[in-house]
Copies of this chain bind each other. A is one copy, B any other.
Amino acid sequence: MTDRPGEFTLIERYFRPLAQDPGAFGLTDDVAVYAPEHGTDLVFQTDLITAGVHFFVDDPADAIAAKALRVNLSDLAAKGAKPVGYLLSLALGPDWTESWVRDFAAGLAKDQESFGITLLGGDTNRIANGVTVSITAFGTVPAGRIVRRSGAAPGDIVFVSGTIGDAALGLRIRLGTIDALPAGKAADHLLDRYLYPQPRMELAPVVSQLATAALDVSDGLVGDFAHLCRASGVGGEIDATALPLSAGAQRLVEQDATALATVLTGGDDYEVLAAVPEPDADRFAEEAGHAGVAVTRVGRIVAGEGPPVVLGEAGAPLPLDRLSHTHF
């Protein structure tokens, strides 16, 4: 272990190449500087993920990097923000290896390219066990134009992006709490969606333009929708028969009676849930399509309060033991 590089070498070798923005000073100063454009608001999000809670310690290093970054970017997308950069704290346990750090940095590099963002600063640290990654990401919106959880009104149509339930079902397959699909593309898709969330950055301008309220689905579709309803002072309905499911999720829902609840409440989706006034709904779907993101109508906003009602076959309310997953 004595041939592992020190902190400064690690930074120079793997993290400095990620910090090309002049405001990062090549990670050679103590802080980072960002000159905001006049007329923009900054939008901040911070999230910490840690081995054994948010990921498995033996997950690929590039997947841990991707998850750490993307869970933050997903929040920015749902708020209509354009991502700019991030700060990283990486805490490594006693068993860290240089090749792990190399792969982790490669994961960040790939995502920086995909999402048009840059590393602005950060630090590396030791920690007693495992790996912990804390990222603060920020982006911009035109001044005063952030999309809140509040703002949804009765009659609004509720959309979600992509497909729902894949990551939570993928996790159950890994944990062995649901019968695995036969090996193949559909099964791989579920496992992959747990490792590599897909934040919907392309949807941000459409959300910004047309949504009355939005958030990203991270804890669980029903629970996160409940947050939006509470903040907006409204009620909501979800049509469980209208949920966008991947082929693998569809098969699990058909073969296992517990799978639908996982889809509705399992979380780790990192899809956007948005409320859109009914007259704008077609346009929302159309613009989202142009942006390359499929969106699906899954419910509507109604007058009232309390958690959303989930309607199953023939419109019968579907009872749920809980609304979302919590890591806490």
Contacts and interface: CB of A to CB of B under 8 A. Distances in A.
Contact of A33 (B42, B88, B216): B42
B136 A328 contact: no
A18 B122 CA distance: 25
Nearest to A28: B231
Given A46-B88, A91-B132, A132-B132, 20 more contacts: A29-B231, A30-B45, A30-B79, A30-B216, A31-B45, A31-B146, A32-B45, A33-B44, A36-B40, A46-B89, A46-B121, A46-B122, A46-B123, A46-B134, A50-B91, A52-B128, A124-B328, A127-B132, A128-B130, A129-B129
A327 B52 CA distance: 23
29 contacts: A6-B326, A25-B148, A28-B149, A28-B231, A29-B150, A30-B79, A30-B215, A31-B43, A31-B75, A31-B79, A32-B43, A32-B45, A33-B141, A34-B42, A44-B136, A46-B88, A46-B121, A46-B134, A47-B89, A49-B125, A50-B128, A53-B126, A53-B127, A54-B125, A89-B134, A91-B132, A127-B132, A129-B129, A134-B134
Interface of A: 6-7, 10, 25, 28-36, 38, 40-54, 75-76, 78-79, 81, 87-89, 91, 120-130, 132, 134, 136, 141, 143, 146, 148-150, 215-216, 231, 326-328
Contacts of A132: 48, 50, 91, 127, 132
A87 to B, nearest CB: 4
Contacts of A43: 31-33
A36 B75 CA distance: 20
B41 A125 contact: no
Contacts of A40: 36
> How many copies of the shown chain assemble into the complex?
2
A110 B132 CA distance: 28
Contact of A87 (B38, B46, B149): B46
B128 A48 contact: no
B53 A128 contact: yes
Given A89-B48, A328-B7, A81 B129 contact: no
Max chain B C-beta neighbours (<10 A), residue from A40, A81, A136, A327: A136
